[in-house]
Amino acid sequence: MRVACSILIVVMGFVTISANLYVRFHYAASMPRSPQPESGRVYPIPAQYGGTVYINKVELDRRSFVEDVLTSIFGISMALYFCMGMSIGWWKASPPHDTSQSSSRPKF
């Protein structure tokens, strides 16, 4: 169960980061720098490399989904994973070390 949850969280993180990077760099590289009402690209967003690019409603919805929804789902999943792991006992404290016998240095 622990391994499956860990793999799921890692995959979700990879997908979220990849999608965020793809949308940011793709939009900065391929979207117009001036509004184009004929194609519906009238929504200004900041570009990755500075300046502003213009996107249409579908592209704006895609960007919002990736940045808001996917990131929120990943954050909530991480919190649930941590809480579940703490309640089940996946991360127990290590046993105390007995330093009296293992240390050859004199104690002052």
Q: Identify whether 46 is part of a domain.
A: yes
Q: Identify whether 71 is part of a domain.
A: yes
Query: 24: Cβ–Cβ under 8 A, 6 or more apart, which residues?
Result: 48
Q: Identify whether 107 is part of a domain.
A: no
Q: Identify whether 93 is part of a domain.
A: no
Q: Identify whether 24 is part of a domain.
A: yes
As for how many domains the chain has, the answer is 1
Q: Identify whether 102 is part of a domain.
A: no
Write out pLDDT tens, residues 14-72: 999 999 999 999 999 999 999 999 999 999 999 877 889 999 999 999 999 999 999 99
User: Whole domain around residue 70: which residue ranges?
Assistant: 2-87
Short-list 9, 3, 6, 1, CA closest to 76: 9
Q: Identify whether 35 is part of a domain.
A: yes
Whole-number Å distance between alpha carbons of 93 and 86:
11
* pTM for the whole structure: 0.74
- The answer to whether the CB of 6 falls within 8 A of the CB of 78 is no
Whole-number Å distance between alpha carbons of 52 and 61:
17
Q: Identify whether 18 is part of a domain.
A: yes
